[in-house]
Chain A
């Protein structure tokens, strides 16, 4: 912050920043309206939900209106760039769909539970993720992570009289608080090393001075631990299966898509800005990022990636609870996406963005069907799924599409995502002939392993047994419409991925410095 004699400039800067901050302001206003409405309309259980939907639409309109701006706000602590806009829009779509899906949840609407706080906290969590996507300052990143996490701790225990839900919430809050504590300690070390908290300034210090490697490695790893926790990468994944199994299905879906996306946004921005080397005079900037030579962060991320996908897929093999199985599968998917981060190039980031869009549709869809099944049969165990494909045929077919998409079967959007990730990894050619062919091979082996448990769910759903003759379930037309809304993009973008790829391509611009 400049000296006080510059306060006039400071005010102008602040006024400009407030304009750029409009989508976040819209979310804040929605949040306040929602809590007031919750006080006024005490009888209604959905009113805050509808306010959230309207607020999300307004926020989306504001986001679209400045989708091409690139500017810093609030003294360069906040970047409004196409990269952040991509993630914000993705998160907004997810939040919207989660609110819509929540209207159908029997688990949430059980008894006469009040749902005012539920929808309000979803708005708050969206706000936290927005902050996380745009922060270019370590303290802002920390605030974003906390704003997102605090809401999600409460949401995961929202059905508080159910023991496993409150247990999930306890585990989440303890593991989460410890990991964010370790992260802030790492941030304080980085501040001591470089004297700055802004990502660009830290990068500058790292470039001019030769700093202690051990301290840099330790503090860097501590900060990565905070991000890895949010994207549930091994070895910071312990909370994931328990929380995903215990939390309400809608919140599980939300955590697995939106908070993972926000974590990736911050992680990619952190690596892109902090560890970039200033290119030598006269050299042609290429699409592969020049990284500082002292520590090879590519290897660190590659090891994280292999551990994450291998453990996720292997442990998923023996799961009997579908929610828990999908939790491990989401760990594995974080591993695939980390493959894209490993490359640290334009095409690598593009592949992660494409994968996230694919992952959003197929994962939300899978959790939606799990929720509908839980409404119908009151169970999430794999053995209770026997023959359910015949009793609710439309949902069954949707589930098959989501699962083969998660598996990466051609003609689904999941295939496009995997294709882009693998080709980005194979295209990498670093200095000294460094390449990541082995990483791509691990990815392919893992995809093959994952086929087993996805197909196992499908086989259980369509097994012919005593249940075959049972009567069919009646589903409301609205719930089928929602399923179709998620199925159609899963198939359409699998066959015609052009729009998604162009969107990702135009969203690669990450603001680095002034």
Chain B
């Protein structure tokens, strides 16, 4: 019994679900960011697994490189924004930051 495409897809599916769950349920902004990284990395696993086992082309691996870079820039900007939130509110619990509600 070898490790095939299915195993990778199950792994990425689980990671995606955990990431989405974290994004929806966590109150701490940093935790939400971590969930986000899980979502992006589950997509990366998909890309690389399809590229490796599909045997068609290397597009998937190129895509993974770009996703890694964009994930980093997104995390950097999100962290900077969360830092600014902390300076304004002295906490980062996103459910308590709701001045903008009717």
Stretch at the interface among A169-177, A206-214, A357-365: A169-177
**B66 near A181 (CB under 8 angstroms)?**
no
Given contacts A166-B88, A195-B57, contact A188 B47 (CB under 8 A): yes
Residues of A within 8 A of B32 (CB): 174
Q: Please tell me if the beta carbons of B70 and A142 are within 8 angstroms of each other in the complex.
A: yes
B40 x A167 contact (CB < 8 A): no
Place the interface of chain B in its size category: 35 or more
The answer on a CB contact under 8 Å between B63 and A181 is no
Task: Pick the contact of B73: A146, A178, A320, A321 (CB < 8 A).
Answer: A146
Residue numbers in A under 8 Å from B59 (CB-CB):
139, 191, 196-197
Q: Given contacts A150-B73, A181-B39, are A160 and B67 in contact (CB under 8 A)? A: no
Is residue A192 within 8 Å, beta carbon to beta carbon, of the partner chain? yes
**Quick check: A173 and B100 within 8 Å, CB to CB?**
no
List which A230-251 residues lie within 8 A (CB) of chain B: 241-242, 245-246
Which one of A177, A187, A245, A320 lies within 8 Å of B78 (CB-CB)? A177
- Per the CB 8 Å criterion, the residue count for chain A at the interface is 45
**Assembly CA distance A246 to B99 (angstroms):** 9
Is A185 part of the binding interface, using a Cβ–Cβ cutoff of 8 Å? yes
Whether A181 touches B36, Cβ cut-off 8 Å, given contacts A153-B77, A154-B77, is: yes
Asked if B46 contacts A139 (CB within 8 A), the reply is no
Q: How far is B45's CA from A185's CA once the two chains are assembled, in angstroms?
A: 10
Chain B residues positioned under 8 Å from A398 (CB to CB): none
Nearest residue (CB) in A for B101 is: A242
* A145-156 interface bits toward B, Cβ cutoff 8 Å, 1 = contact, 0 = none: 010001001100
Q: Which of B53-100 contact A (CB under 8 A)?
A: 54, 56-60, 62-63, 66-67, 70, 73-74, 77-78, 80-82, 84-85, 88-89, 94, 97-100
Bound-complex Cα distance A167 to B23 (A)? 17
Chain B residues with a Cβ under 8 A of chain A: 9, 12, 16, 19-20, 23, 29, 32-33, 36, 39-40, 42-44, 46-47, 49-50, 54, 56-60, 62-63, 66-67, 70, 73-74, 77-78, 80-82, 84-85, 88-89, 94, 97-102
Q: Give the docked Cα–Cα distance between A167 and B66 (Å).
A: 29
From known contacts A181-B36, A184-B43, A191-B59, infer whether A173 and B77 are also in contact, taking CB-CB under 8 Å: yes
Report chain A residues within 8 Å CB of B82.
170
B74's partner among A150, A185, A187, A320 (CB-CB below 8 A) is A150
Which 10 pairs from chain A and chain B are nearest by CB? Answer: A188-B46, A181-B39, A195-B56, A192-B50, A242-B100, A184-B43, A188-B43, A185-B43, A146-B70, A197-B59
Bound-complex Cα distance A4 to B42 (A) = 31
Nearest Cβ on chain B to A32's Cβ, whole angstroms: 18
Q: Shortest distance in angstroms between B10's beta carbon and chain A's nearest beta carbon? A: 13
B91 to chain A, nearest CB (A): 12
Q: How far is A245 from B99 in the complex, measured between Cα atoms in Å?
A: 11
Nearest B residue to A192, CB-CB: B50
Whether A245 touches B100, Cβ cut-off 8 Å, given contacts A142-B66, A188-B47, A196-B59, is yes
Contact B46 A161 (CB under 8 A): no
